[in-house]
């Protein structure tokens, strides 16, 4: 259940696209920050989150690093500047809210799928193995749900209103990601001057 090679490949491919976006500035003179970030969301994020339905159950540093590096280059920051500072300067949030939500949405799809479908049967086997003490994809989904306070959904094996649950889950993930970002900025010695001059 290791997706390191997959995530590394996705981050490498996305980094190539980032370079091309920055090269476009030679033709179009200069992109405003909002335009560059819109291109990032439209072109790069889909690559980074490709097949996140199966691997997006945990925070992935190499995926997040692509966005941080893009923000640094967009703001002309040194590569040694903390990633959290670069995200703050661009008003960005970690991508975990996107790929974790996609993973949970796929889990919801499996729980509501007809029992004769192969994906549902496979999920039932994975859940049974988890209950027997094996670590499976279902184990990681369970840990993800409990981590953000949605363990009741795992125990019930249903979420009720799918749209409402998905929206609430994404909000919770994003809120936690922002809190972690604030903590890094407030505790890092490298961000001393930055936080003294900002409103964090």
Measuring CA to CA, which residue among 185, 163, 165, 161 is closest to residue 173?
A: 165
Q: Calculate mean pLDDT across residues 60-66.
A: 94
Please state, in angstroms and rounded to a whole number, the distance separating the CA atoms of residues 48 and 165.
24
Going by pLDDT thresholds of 50, 70 and 90, the confidence category of residue 123 is: very high
pLDDT at 199: 45
Indicate the domain borders of the chain.
Answer: 4-95
Q: Calculate mean pLDDT across residues 71-98.
A: 88
* More confident: 198 or 12: 12
pLDDT at 197: 62
Between helix 96-111 and helix 137-147 the angle, nearest 10°, is 120
Going by pLDDT thresholds of 50, 70 and 90, the confidence category of residue 60 is: very high
Going by pLDDT thresholds of 50, 70 and 90, the confidence category of residue 200 is: very low
- R_g of the chain, CA atoms, integer Å: 19
């Amino acid at each position: 259940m290791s997706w390191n090679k997959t995530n590394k490949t996705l981050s490498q491919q996305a980094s190539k696209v980032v370079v091309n976006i920055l090269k476009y500035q030679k033709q179009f003179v200069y992109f405003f920050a909002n335009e560059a970030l819109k291109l990032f969301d439209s072109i790069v994020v889909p690559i980074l989150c490709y097949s996140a339905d199966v691997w997006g159950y945990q925070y992935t540093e190499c995926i997040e690093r692509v966005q941080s590096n893009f923000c640094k280059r967009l703001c002309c920051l040194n590569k040694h500047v903390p990633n959290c500072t670069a995200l703050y300067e661009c008003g960005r949030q970690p991508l975990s809210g996107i790929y974790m939500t996609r993973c949970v949405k796929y889990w919801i799809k499996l729980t509501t799928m007809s029992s004769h479908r192969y994906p549902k049967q496979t999920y039932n086997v994975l859940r049974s193995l988890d209950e027997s003490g094996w670590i499976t994809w279902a184990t990681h989904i369970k840990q993800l749900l409990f981590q953000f306070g949605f363990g009741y959904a795992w125990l019930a094996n249903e979420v009720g209103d799918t749209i409402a649950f998905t929206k609430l889950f994404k909000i919770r993930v994003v809120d936690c990601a922002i809190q972690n970002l604030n903590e890094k900025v407030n505790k890092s010695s490298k961000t001393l001057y930055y936080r003294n001059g900002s409103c964090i």
